[in-house]
Every structure is written in C-alpha cells, then in structure tokens.
C-alpha cells in the first residue's frame, strides 16, 4: 500500500436525495495532521474494481474543517458512473475505504472576504463547506446561487435553510429550479452577479453550467484573482502507488468534469532546461525553503519530496490541480497539463507534479 494513503472507516451514510449520499469517515488516531483541510478541498478515494483493481476518484468535502463534525464527502450518482454508483450502493457504516489526504485549491484566500458562490447540482458540495466555514469563522457576506433540475434535486436543502435562518444578515441563498424557471442563461447569470462586483466568486457544477457562469463573470470583468472555478478531470493513472500497469476507469462525477476547450496541454514541446543545478525557493504553509541543487529534468514535486517537504498532490499525472503553484520568479516547463487553461498559465499558475526547471533560479508559492 502507498504510505501516503490511509484506510478510513465509514461512520455514517446519509441519503441526501435519491441520487446523492454523504459518506462520513473516522480519521485514524495519529493521522489527524494528515487530514487537516481547507474548505473547498477534496479527497481522492480508491474504489474497488474487478476490472482495474482500483478506480481512483476525487470527491469534494461537504464538511467544514472546524471540527464540528466528521470528515464527509458527498457523492452524486451518474447514469453510467461506476464509482459513484458503487459508493452509493455498497458503502455502509463500518466499511473502510482507502483515501489520500485532502487536496485542492478551490478555497478562499480569506474567510473575511465577501463571497459569491455559484453552484449547479452536486457542485454545492465544496460550496457548502466554504459557506459553513466562512459563516463560522469569517466576517464577510455570502451570496449563494444554487441551480437544480427541480425541488427534489436540491442537495442540503434543510442545511441551507437552517444556515440562512441562523445568519440572516450575512447569508443570502437563491434557488434556481429548471422545472420552474428553465435553464439559467448567461445573460441571467450576468444580471445576478452584477450586483456583487467586489465579491470573490467561486463556481462549481456541471461543465455547461461552469462554462456559462465563468463567461458571465468575464463579461462583468471579474478579475482572475477573484474568479475561481473547480476543476477535476478523469484520473488517467493510479495515485495510490499500486497497479500502475492497469488502466483506471473514467471519472464520472457530474460536478467534477471540466470542459477543456481552453486547456493548454504542453506535451508537444518542452524547452531545454538549465545545464546545471537550479536555485529553488518555495513558500508553503507559511514556511520558506531554499535549495541550490534542483536538478534539470527533475519534477518540482519529486525534488521537494526528496528533501522531506510535504508538498500537496493527488494524481501526479497533471490531471488535477491539487499540486498547483504560482510562479514568483523564473520559469518552469510542464511535461503534461490537462487542467490549467491559458488564463491560468498567464497568471503564473503551474502544476508542481509536472514542472521541471527552465531557468537557473525559480521561486514559487503554494496557494
């Protein structure tokens, strides 16, 4: 077993709707530090598969990291989704599931900021975690737009009603039902978001919803640093360290698929790197690390691991954003990228698991 993974025991299973289940876990004694997390992050889980041995999936945490409840993911069934259906059909209290520690950068930089949260369907999962945490620990206002097919499809309806009643001066929840209002259009989303031009926006939902909503925010000229979009894609490899020679089944989470029309895959050309060791400066979790021996051709994540630095990652394949860093100085070349789009790259965001040095000095910070 990969030493970075853990067997967690299921302590509760809640049927949120006919298609969505929340799975709560007990963190093993001594592993608490590995499972500290920020609101909006996800767990990578190993779902048993007769065909592939294990199917790796990423599911967002709906719980808050404030310690007022167990570690919880929420999983929505999809019609042909092997993993989502297996979890909803088979996981029961007392069962175990192998997971990697929390990852992801879909999380507010400040809980005191005013937040505009735009969710569709099961995209509410990380958004609920952000909402709960911001209301409990932050000072800003939270506006939540939540789109669903019909009233029966609304996940966490009771929890959202309770939060709105408890924080009437800080939380506004707006439900949009396709059965009543039809699908929201870009113009309608633009009109709604235009009332909150200074808020930090977070978007999560099915690909068409995310594409339409982000386009509306761009029209409103929300700056990139205040516009966040959750991005997951199918994991093409196995991050659990075993069965590397077996193909992992396709990712089926409705709110975790991403339209990659604007992604920038850098596989084709990798520029020649420095001829000698590179100076590397890294900011991570409030600490600064400096190394003078980053070898050309060695990936950033691998170099940090060799130095004993616990840098975040999940898929190790350039197919999620868990390892993302922001360039502060110098440049790196990515060997593979299936998740960052051109705008991300222009902002200096790179994937640590796929980045090799391209200049003699590189300085990065983890979000």
Q: What is the CATH number of the domain that holds 356?
A: 3.10.20.30
Rounded Cα distance between 279 and 344, Å, is 24
* Dihedral sign for Cα atoms in the order 228, 233, 236, 240: positive
Please calculate the CA angle 167-169-171 and round it to the nearest 5 degrees: 60
Q: What pLDDT shows up at residue 2?
A: 43
Paired with 39 in beta bridges are none
Residue 247 domain-assigned (yes or no): no
Residue 268 lies in a domain: no
Q: Out of 59-68, 259-268, 338-347, pick the least confident.
A: 259-268
Between the CA atoms of 195, 200, 205 and 211, what dihedral angle is there, to the nearest 10 degrees? 70
Give the pair of three-digit tokens for residue 154: 């609304």
Pair (123, 60) in one structural domain: no
Angle between helices 186-193 and 207-219 (to 10 degrees): 50
Domain that holds residue 202: 115-229
Same-domain check for residues 127 and 204: yes
215 and 122, same structural domain?
yes
Strand-strand pairing, 20-26 and 6-17 = antiparallel
What per-residue confidence (pLDDT) applies to 98? 93
Least confident of 34-43, 312-321, 322-331, 339-348: 312-321
* Angle between helix 124-137 and 157-166 (nearest 10): 20
* 225 and 120 share one domain: yes
Is residue 256 one of the residues assigned to a domain?
no
* pLDDT, the chain, mean: 87
5-9, 110-114, 126-130, 270-274: lowest mean pLDDT where? 270-274
Q: Single out the residue in 57, 78, 105 at which a domain terminates.
A: 105
Q: How many domains is the chain built from?
A: 3
pLDDT at 246: 34
**pLDDT tens digits, 69-83:** 899 999 999 887 888
Each residue of 36-77: pLDDT tens digit? 999 999 998 998 887 767 888 889 999 999 977 899 999 999
Residue 321 lies inside a defined structural domain of this protein: yes
Question: Is residue 126 situated within a structural domain?
Answer: yes
Residue 101 belongs to some domain of the structure: yes
Give me the pLDDT at residue 241, please.
60
Does residue 347 share a domain with residue 282? Answer: yes
Residues 142 and 166 in one domain: yes
Please give the full DSSP string across 295-345, using - where no structure is assigned: -TT--HHHHHHHTT-----SSSSSSBSTTEEEEEES-EEES--SS-BHHHH
d(CA 354, CA 301): 8
Provide φ and ψ at 81, rounded to 5°. -85, 105
Beta strands in the chain (DSSP E): 6-17, 20-26, 42-49, 53-60, 71-76, 96-103, 115-120, 142-148, 171-177, 200-204, 227-229, 278-284, 287-294, 324-329, 332-334, 349-351, 355-357, 361-366
Q: Give the pLDDT of residue 210.
A: 92
Can you give the pLDDT at residue 226? 92
Residue at a domain's end among 105, 140, 169: 105
254: pLDDT confidence band, cut at 50, 70 and 90? very low
| Cβ–Cβ < 8 Å for 23, 10 | yes
Least confidently predicted of 42-46, 107-111, 338-342: 338-342
H helices present in the chain, as ranges: 82-90, 124-137, 157-166, 178-181, 186-193, 207-219, 300-306, 342-346
Q: Say what the pLDDT of residue 248 is.
A: 33
At 23, which CATH number? 2.40.30.10
24 CB neighbour count, 10 Å cutoff: 20
| 217 and 119 both lie in a single domain | yes
Distance CA 348, CA 366 (A): 12
Q: Could you tell me the CATH number of the domain that includes residue 199?
A: 3.40.50.80
Percent of the chain with pLDDT over 90: 66
**C-alpha closest to that of 231 among 208, 209, 260:** 260
What are the pLDDT digits (tens) for 285-309?
889 999 999 999 999 999 999 999 9
- 234 assigned to some structural domain: no
CA distances from 289 to 191, 258, 305, 334, 355 (A): 45, 33, 12, 21, 17
Predicted confidence at residue 255, as pLDDT, reads 32
Average pLDDT (344-353) is 89
Q: Are 99 and 46 in contact (CB under 8 A)?
A: yes
Residue that terminates a domain, selected from 214, 229, 244? 229
CA distance linking residue 110 with residue 138, whole number of Å: 8
Measured in whole angstroms, the distance separating CA 107 from the mean position of its chain's CA atoms is 8
**pLDDT(247) > 60:** no
Tell whether 44 and 78 lie within a shared domain: yes
Q: What is the pTM of this model?
A: 0.78
């Amino acid at each position: 077993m990969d030493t970075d993974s853990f067997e967690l025991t299921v302590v509760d299973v809640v049927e949120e709707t006919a298609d969505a289940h929340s799975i709560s876990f007990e963190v093993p004694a001594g592993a608490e530090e590995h499972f500290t997390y920020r609101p909006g992050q996800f767990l990578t889980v190993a779902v048993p598969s007769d065909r592939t041995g294990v199917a790796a999936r990423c599911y967002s945490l709906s719980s808050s990291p404030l310690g007022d409840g167990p570690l919880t993911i929420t999983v929505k069934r999809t019609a042909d989704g092997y993993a989502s259906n297996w979890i909803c059909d088979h996981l029961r209290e007392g069962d175990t599931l192998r997971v990697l520690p929390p990852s992801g950068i879909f999380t507010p930089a400040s809980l005191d900021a005013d937040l505009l949260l735009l969710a569709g369907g099961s995209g509410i999962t990380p958004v609920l975690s952000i909402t709960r945490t911001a209301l409990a620990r932050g000072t800003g206002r939270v506006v939540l737009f939540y789109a669903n097919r019909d009233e029966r499809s609304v996940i966490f309806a009771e929890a959202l009603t309770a939060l709105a009643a408890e924080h009437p001066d800080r939380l506004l929840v707006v439900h949009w039902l396709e059965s009543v209002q039809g699908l929201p259009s870009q113009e309608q989303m633009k009109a709604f978001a235009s009332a909150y031009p200074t808020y930090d926006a977070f978007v999560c939902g099915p690909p068409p919803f995310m594409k339409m909503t982000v386009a509306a925010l761009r029209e409103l000229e929300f700056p990139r640093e205040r516009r966040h979009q959750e991005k997951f894609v199918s994991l093409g490899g196995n991050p659990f360290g075993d069965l590397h020679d077996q193909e992992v089944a396709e990712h089926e989470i409705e709110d975790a698929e991403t339209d990659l029309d604007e992604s920038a895959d850098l596989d084709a050309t990798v520029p020649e790197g420095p001829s000698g060791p590179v100076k590397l400066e890294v900011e991570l979790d409030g600490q600064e690390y400096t190394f003078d021996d980053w070898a050309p051709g060695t990936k950033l994540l691998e170099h940090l691991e060799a130095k004993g630095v616990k840098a975040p990652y999940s898929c190790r394949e350039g197919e999620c954003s868990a390892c993302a860093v922001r360039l502060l100085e110098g440049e790196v070349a990515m060997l593979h990228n299936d998740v960052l789009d051109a705008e991300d790259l222009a902002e200096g965001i790179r994937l640590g698991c796929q980045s090799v040095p391209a200049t003699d000095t590189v300085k990065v910070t983890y979000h």
